Chain A
């Protein structure tokens, strides 16, 4: 058979797809399932392994990864098409869909210019205060609306400041990194604070409900986790300023330029005020009514109103939302549920506990370490939401308190400070082209140590007091 250069190129580009399929085929045809795990559970784990390879290396488009998850569950996973479909859409997926659309709706209003003005009034023109302001505002906003929306709104503010501080022959790499990382790390640190801070939080809530592990209201989540956000904010500011010392102590000219630029926006229009009011109503709904109506339904209700009142067009929403990601979350959650139903999650949990029991004899510590370490490591390779979707069922089968273990897993999945892929905020600042991958390592290890210590502190001191 003659293989052309085109075919060879295709093979090279798709090699990770071929490797995933080969691994799957070897495990499926040549390796028998373990005695302690049923055939369906084994097959589901094979599908998950293949999917992890595909998500990690992205040899095919994301929607295609989602689609293969669906049909493999039916073909080799022992599930019926309706079973897969029934787990595909749920409140977590509605929430992810709704929050992505809300981000488009809010960002398109131009409210970020108001936000910029507010921050400047608060911080003044001293660089350290601006970095502190960016970190704090990003963290607090992100804890309620998610890091993607906050970063999308904050990045232009930072880039405008950078533009007006840049001059030929002068390198402001420290200042640039400090401003950008204050947004990314601030938003990431904040994203654990409430259930709506990120898709992964809602996925875990969905697993709790699905597996009968209990539940947490919006305010109960905040009571358990928000103190950690408050501890982390000042330490994050110090880490950023120490790691990337800004070359300029004062950003006088840049602030003046930014103020002038923002002032061009004029007074708040009725449309802006109405958008803000609508979004506040959605936020109120999440905090006060989500136990009754669900986070996803409330987000979709908000989008319905935005569309109805003409505040955003469907064209803008459909263009701004990556539907492939929504498809992937639906498919990942459905396989997560199947992992639990077929016993695959319990088998993995028992396996990791018995493997590590000799090293860590205390079972509670062992569960916490497995949950935190696996989530933290995997989130730096995949993304935090995919990590929770895949690991959630296993973590909830480790034994112990599923709520606290689930929370520990969700929180540690936000420790993706080392790489650009882990958190949306990190990917966004990286896509500006102004920070490099090694910068994430320079600050990331300090952030990781700080976050693990904060989590240990909260888990050992705060949770026993309030739970």
Chain B
């Protein structure tokens, strides 16, 4: 079940945050919780651990069954337990959330996916899931299974390597949270062009700017000195949309190499939103795309809207 190209309905949004450890994933989880809360979206948290070679699958399974007898929980569940505690701490006023208790024995395991059952989850709309295997493959499966709209991923050392796979194969919008400082006042930078994904990214940008109170800038980059009707029209449409919602917007029109211009303009104080590429998948695979190159080269938080 994938939700692509569906009408923008904030009430039915589902966000998925990928966490790796208590040590490294705190900012990611915090931002995931914040974004899910401002959009009133249901929030899934997934931990993707390494999968043991199938060759020794019997031995690993046998050991894990035995660890259960010793009340030693499945590796990775402790990260989800931490995630739940963290979510509670982030929303101290949420009484429903406070009631939810983590019990490592209450899990449902199927096809290598372990879902923590939260019996007291009344209306909190939280999912805790453990998966094992290759990161992009597992995130893709989780998104397809639950129909998530946005995947929130921390920026990592492997970003350059993963950027291609994340943007090309995850069937949802992607928020890569790199060098995110919750204390910092960001400017929201919306990259506008004539692609079909721009209109949805305008809607996302407006929602985020409205809820977080960030100033908005739109940037349109042309390779030549002439801005065609498509580019001009998209920029005007964006401005009109923000105006209609009472959000102040600054418009910028620059010429040059699009990716380099985006990256230079974004600097380190913008929160970038751009539409996913509509290029043919094979061309994207072979030559990359603007979002892929931008993600690889910039160090600011970036949302690629699909």
Write the residues of chain A forming the contact surface with B, with a CB cutoff of 8 angstroms: 2-5, 7-9, 12-13, 55, 58, 61-62, 100, 103-104, 107-108, 110, 112, 148-149, 151-153, 155-156, 159-160, 163, 261, 320-322, 324-325, 328, 382-383, 386, 420-421, 424-425, 427-428, 430-433
**Contact between chains at A427 and B59 (CB < 8 Å):** yes
**Contact between chains at A152 and B59 (CB < 8 Å):** yes
Q: Name the A residues within 8 Å of B59 (CB-CB).
A: 103, 148, 151-152, 424-425, 427-428
Alpha-carbon separation in the docked complex, A215 to B65 (Å): 38
**Contact between chains at B62 and A8 (CB < 8 Å):** no
Contact string, B257-299, partner A, CB cutoff 8 A, digits 1/0? Answer: 0000000000000000000000011100100000000000000
Whole-angstrom distance from the CB of A178 to the nearest CB of chain B?
Answer: 19
Alpha-carbon separation in the docked complex, A82 to B62 (Å): 34
Whole-angstrom distance from the CB of B179 to the nearest CB of chain A?
Answer: 25
B61 at the interface (CB under 8 A from A): yes
Chain A, Cβ-Cβ closest to B70: A156
**Contact between chains at B72 and A58 (CB < 8 Å):** no
Partner of A421, one of B53, B67, B169: B53
**Contact between chains at A428 and B66 (CB < 8 Å):** no
**Sample of 17 more A-B contacts, CB < 8 Å, known A107-B62, A321-B58:** A9-B169, A55-B55, A61-B54, A62-B55, A103-B62, A104-B62, A148-B56, A152-B66, A156-B66, A156-B69, A324-B54, A325-B58, A383-B56, A420-B52, A421-B56, A427-B53, A427-B55
How many chain B residues touch A (Cβ–Cβ < 8 Å)?
33
**Contact between chains at B55 and A8 (CB < 8 Å):** no
Q: Name the B residues within 8 Å of A420 (CB-CB).
A: 52-53
Whole-angstrom distance from the CB of B112 to the nearest CB of chain A?
Answer: 11
**Contact between chains at A151 and B63 (CB < 8 Å):** yes
Alpha-carbon separation in the docked complex, A153 to B62 (Å): 9
Contact string, B55-82, partner A, CB cutoff 8 A, digits 1/0? Answer: 1111111111111011010011000000
Given contacts A5-B168, A155-B66, A160-B72, contact A431 B60 (CB under 8 A): yes
Q: List 9 A-B contacts (CB under 8 A).
A: A3-B281, A8-B169, A9-B140, A103-B59, A103-B62, A421-B56, A427-B52, A427-B60, A431-B63
B215 at the interface (CB under 8 A from A): no
Given contacts A58-B53, A320-B58, A421-B53, contact A428 B63 (CB under 8 A): yes
Q: Name the A residues within 8 Å of B55 (CB-CB).
A: 55, 62, 325, 328, 382-383, 386, 421, 427
B104 at the interface (CB under 8 A from A): no
B50, B60, B72, B137, most chain A CB atoms within 10 A:
B60
Q: Name the B residues within 8 Å of A432 (CB-CB).
A: 75
B27 at the interface (CB under 8 A from A): no
Partner of B168, one of A8, A103, A322, A427: A8
Given contacts A320-B58, A320-B62, A431-B60, contact A156 B282 (CB under 8 A): no
Q: Name the B residues within 8 Å of A431 (CB-CB).
A: 50, 52, 60, 63-64, 75
Whole-angstrom distance from the CB of A315 to the nearest CB of chain B?
Answer: 12
Alpha-carbon separation in the docked complex, A160 to B281 (Å): 50
**Contact between chains at A110 and B69 (CB < 8 Å):** yes
